[in-house]
């Protein structure tokens, strides 16, 4: 990282403009510190990637720092599996945090802050049940009512809160609530809950704490004690910002000597900051759901093959699909940062993927729907190797030698007995160029008992081979192939979009997202691949010429059994005409 006083890059989106303005007046001493605060209750998805790119990107661009902090305040829904997966995803996306924290690191600090609010008459212990709290809260058009326990004395509230901390009361028996304004037009300020009793073992703290802080309370205090300057949140937290500010105003953390030692034990060096919460519109894509609850249901109900299913919008799924992290970063950079909610076409992301892979993916030949082609004027034992460039636009990729023989596999749809209009590939009596070989003419076909073509027989015009006088003779079509004798059988998984409608969350027709699952979103075929393609390492993306980009599966690919996932087709099949 560069020094915080390094000249800032030109302001772009409105958050950058805020940071530039803050630095210009010396706010926070010119420091910029952000954080990415995921809850470890599921895998990260594309929407999280926008926040990751923004938080880490802002910090890097302004010579600042970014923390990774797990919001682990709800242990009933959290798991170490998700903690590990989130760290792996952030690193895969290309970022490294300045320091790693958990909200649970600050449970002692949060508790001491809660006692301060009680002593200052700003919080009280409430005996209302959850249903009663909702009833007392009021509506958007009607004010709420004060809890009958709101005027308990400071002494009684401290006693009850400490007994809550000691585990004396049952789950749900009592809560600690802020004392703000039950008539506020912002429902978040109607005496919100700060702590609830929940006797659940925590992944980090075990059974030490029978009470857990609520997110709105833990979030602002965690930001402050970490020295965060700009707390970037998605737009749904805009109505929560007054509570964020209220908590920090009432606590005035720099004036609390009792938290100095707990901060040191939590590994926090500097004094608390006064962070500013700034909201931006979350990232939404069509043909996608990005609710953790719905993604978890897809996994639990067996509608997908797990969190890392290549059809899922999770970063683990996209990684297994072969989406390069550079494409995801470029996509969110192009999408921009605004306060206006919008839906971006998934095809825009796929376009970014194609751009990155076109420049970086080596080329190989593979046949997904094989039809045998026999070159009858070559000997039965004929074998040779042909040199191919690994990338047509970049000689630095080098070359490879591809085996060629008398019998080949070609794509079945590269041959038609009765061709559709505009078809320029192989037909009876017609000619086509075999990629890197020469021109062949179809002379005959063989059929099975049902009349289906099983073999195309051709002759090779030797004069059209490389280095021969007729090598430049023109024909309209060129097709790819693999040598039947040398090709390697591979499992290829052809993925399409998981949903059949652009807005799976739309329930206006009485259907749910689960009713719009695309049952044909995964198709598995046995393909034939040239040996150099089958030898790819796991997670290596190749372009199978004329077919698309494919990745050697991160989990299942092996030398003895190659498995490839289609990352994206060469062209957008969903493009609007």
- Catalytic member of 77, 150, 282, 522: 282
Coil, strand or helix at 390: coil
Percent of the chain residues past pLDDT 70, beyond the cut: 97
Question: Among candidates 1, 96, 87, 108, which has minimal Cα distance to 40?
Answer: 87
SS3 category, 188: helix
The whole-angstrom separation of Cα 569 and Cα 322 is: 12
| pLDDT tens-digit map of 116-135 | 999 999 999 999 999 999 99
Residue with tokens 């041959």: 415
As a whole number of angstroms, the distance between CA 441 and CA 426 comes to 8
CB 261 within 8 A of CB 65: no
Q: Cα separation of 285 and 314, whole Å? A: 13
pLDDT, tens digit (0-9, with 9 covering 90-100), for 201-214: 999 999 999 999 99
Query: Tell me: the pLDDT tens digits for 390-431?
Result: 999 999 999 999 999 999 999 999 999 999 999 999 999 999
Say whether 45 counts as a known binding-site residue.
yes
Has 71 been labeled as part of a binding site?
yes
Q: Which residues contact 565 (CB under 8 A, 6 or more apart)?
A: 310, 320, 321, 322, 492, 493, 495, 550, 551, 553
φ, ψ for residue 235, nearest 5 deg: -60, -25
pLDDT, one tens digit per residue, over 10-25 is 557 999 999 999 999 9
Please, what sign has the CA dihedral across residues 70, 75, 76, 80?
positive
The answer to whether residue 7 scores a pLDDT higher than 60 is no
393 is in an annotated binding site: no
What pLDDT, on a 0 to 100 scale, did the predictor assign at position 573? 61
Give 83's contacts (C-beta < 8 A, 6+ positions apart): 40, 70, 72, 203
Q: Going from the N-terminus, what domains does the chain have, and what CATH number goes with each?
A: 14-282 (3.40.50.620), 283-364+487-577 (2.40.240.10), 366-480 (2.40.240.10)
Beta bridge partner(s), residue 459: 441
pLDDT single digits (tens) 282-341: 989 999 999 999 999 999 999 999 999 999 999 999 999 999 999 999 999 999 999 999
Phi, psi of 407, rounded to the nearest 5 degrees = -110, 130
Catalytic choice (27, 39, 77, 491): 39
104 is in an annotated binding site: no
How far apart (Å, rounded) are the C-alpha atoms in residues 334 and 345?
12
Residue 491: which region, alpha, beta or left (left: phi > 0; alpha: psi -120 to 50)?
beta
165 is catalytic: no
| Dist. CA 335–CA 212, nearest whole Å | 37
The answer to the question of whether 46 is labelled as a binding residue is yes
Set 31, 65, 292, 319: catalytic member: 292
| pLDDT value at 439 more than 80 | yes
C-alpha 142/C-alpha 461 separation (Å) is 86
What was the pLDDT predicted at 574? Answer: 55
Active site (annotated) includes residue 407: no
Q: Among 111, 135, 107, 134, which residue's Cα sits nearest to residue 123? A: 111
The pLDDT value recorded for residue 8 is: 46
Active site residue 292: yes
- What average pLDDT does range 470-498 have in this prediction? 96
The reply, when asked if residue 26 is annotated as ligand binding, is no
Q: How confident is the model at residue 467 (pLDDT cuts 50, 70, 90)?
A: very high
Task: Determine how many CB atoms are found less than 10 A away from the CB of residue 270.
Answer: 11
- Judge contact between 339 and 14, C-beta under 8 A: yes
Please, what is the average pLDDT of the chain?
95
Tokens at 11, concatenated:
């302001």
With vertex at residue 219, the alpha carbon angle to CA 215 and CA 225, rounded to the nearest 5 degrees, is 145
Rounded to an integer, the average pLDDT of 124-152 is: 97
Query: 274 with 208: CB under 8 angstroms?
Result: no
């Amino acid at each position: 990282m560069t020094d915080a006083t390094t000249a800032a890059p030109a302001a772009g989106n409105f958050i950058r403009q805020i940071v530039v303005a803050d630095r210009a007046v010396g706010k926070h001493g010119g420091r910029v510190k952000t954080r990415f605060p995921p809850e470890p209750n599921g895998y990260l998805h594309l929407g999280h990637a926008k926040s990751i790119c923004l938080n880490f990107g802002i910090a890097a661009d302004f010579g600042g720092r970014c923390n990774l902090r797990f919001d682990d305040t709800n242990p009933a829904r959290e798991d170490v599996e998700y903690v590990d997966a989130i760290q792996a995803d952030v690193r895969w996306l290309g970022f490294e945090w300045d320091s790693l924290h958990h909200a649970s690191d600050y449970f002692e600090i949060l508790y001491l802050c809660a006692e301060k609010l009680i002593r200052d008459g700003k919080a009280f212990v409430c005996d209302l049940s959850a249903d009663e709290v909702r009833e007392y809260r009021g509506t958007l058009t009607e004010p709420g009512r004060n809890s009958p326990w709101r005027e308990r004395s400071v002494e009684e509230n401290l006693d009850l809160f400490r007994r809550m901390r000691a585990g004396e009361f049952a789950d749900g028996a009592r809560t600690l609530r802020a004392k703000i304004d039950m008539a506020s037009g912002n429902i978040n300020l109607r005496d919100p809950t700060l702590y609830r009793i929940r006797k659940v073992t925590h992944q980090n703290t075990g059974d030490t704490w029978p009470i857990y802080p609520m997110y709105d309370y833990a979030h602002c205090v965690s930001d402050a004690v970490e020295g965060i300057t700009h707390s970037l949140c998605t737009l749904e937290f805009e109505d929560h910002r007054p509570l964020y500010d209220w908590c920090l105003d009432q606590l005035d953390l720099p004036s609390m000597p009792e938290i100095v030692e707990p901060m040191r034990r939590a590994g926090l060096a500097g004094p608390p900051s006064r962070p500013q919460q700034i909201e931006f519109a979350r990232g939404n894509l069509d043909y996608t759901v990005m609710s953790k609850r719905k993604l978890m249901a897809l996994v639990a109900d067996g509608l997908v093959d797990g969190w890392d299913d290549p059809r899922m919008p999770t970063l683990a799924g996209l990684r297994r699909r072969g989406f390069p992290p550079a494409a995801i970063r470029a996509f969110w950079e192009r999408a921009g940062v605004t306060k206006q909610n919008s839906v971006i076409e998934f095809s825009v992301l796929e376009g970014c993927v194609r751009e990155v892979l076109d420049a970086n993916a080596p080329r190989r030949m593979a046949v997904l729907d094989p039809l045998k082609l026999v070159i009858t004027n070559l000997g039965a034992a004929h074998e040779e190797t042909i040199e191919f460039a690994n990338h047509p636009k970049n000689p630095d990729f080098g070359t490879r030698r591809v085996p060629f023989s008398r019998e080949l596999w070609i794509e079945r749809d590269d041959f038609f007995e009765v061709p559709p209009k505009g078809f320029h590939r192989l037909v009876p009596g017609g000619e086509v160029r075999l990629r890197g070989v020469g021109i062949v003419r179809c002379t005959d076909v063989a059929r099975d008992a049902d009349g289906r073509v099983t073999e195309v027989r051709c002759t090779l015009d030797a004069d059209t081979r490389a280095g021969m006088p007729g090598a430049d003779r023109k024909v309209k079509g060129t097709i790819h192939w693999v040598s039947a004798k040398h090709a390697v059988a591979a499992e290829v998984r052809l993925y399409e979009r998981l949903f059949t409608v652009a807005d799976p969350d739309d329930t206006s027709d009485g259907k749910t997202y689960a009713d719009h699952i695309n049952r044909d979103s995964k198709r598995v075929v046995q393909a034939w691949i040239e040996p150099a393609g089958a030898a790819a390492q796991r997670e290596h993306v190749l372009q199978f010429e004329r077919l698309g980009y494919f990745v050697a599966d991160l989990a299942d690919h092996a030398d003895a059994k190659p498995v490839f996932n289609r990352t994206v087709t060469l062209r957008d099949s969903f493009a609007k005409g």
